[in-house]
Structure formats: C-alpha cells, structure tokens
Structure 1
C-alpha cells in the first residue's frame, strides 16, 4: 500500500515538473515554481 503511494507521488512530481518546465519556458519574470 505504501509503495503505491510513493509511485503516485513520484508521478505527480513528474507532471508538476513537466508543467513547470512548459510554464516557465520563455518567461522573463521568474516564478517561484520555476526556480
């Protein structure tokens, strides 16, 4: 059960990082999530 929770968490981090990358590319102003 715990192992599954970790997998979900890692998947969410991947999605978040992908979103952040797309969201931050070409931006002149810095966002906290783009650091």
Structure 2
C-alpha cells in the first residue's frame, strides 16, 4: 500500500505544479489553502 501512497503524493505535487502554472485553484475545498 506504501507504493500507492507514494503515487498519490507524486500526483498531488504534479497537480500543485500544474495549478501554479495555469493559475487554477485546487478543486477540493480546503486543500492547498
């Protein structure tokens, strides 16, 4: 299960970078605030 957590964290970081690039806020309320 540890690998799944790693993938999730990587995806989260990738999404954060994507949001920073395009300027879109996180879709989940309360996240990244």
TM-score, normalising length: structure 2: 0.69
Residue 5 (structure 1) aligned with residue 14 (structure 2): no
Larger helix proportion of the pair: 1
Aligned residues: 26
What root-mean-square deviation, in Å, do the aligned CA atoms of Structure 1 and Structure 2 show?
A: 1.4
Moved over 3 A (4+): none
CA–CA separation in structure 2 for the residues paired with 1:17 and 1:10: 10
Q: Which runs of 5+ in 2 are unaligned?
A: 27-33
Q: Which runs of 5+ in 1 are unaligned?
A: 25-32
TM-score, normalising length: structure 1: 0.66
Q: Which residue of 2 aligns with 1:34?
A: 25
CA–CA separation in structure 1 for the residues paired with 2:6 and 2:25: 23
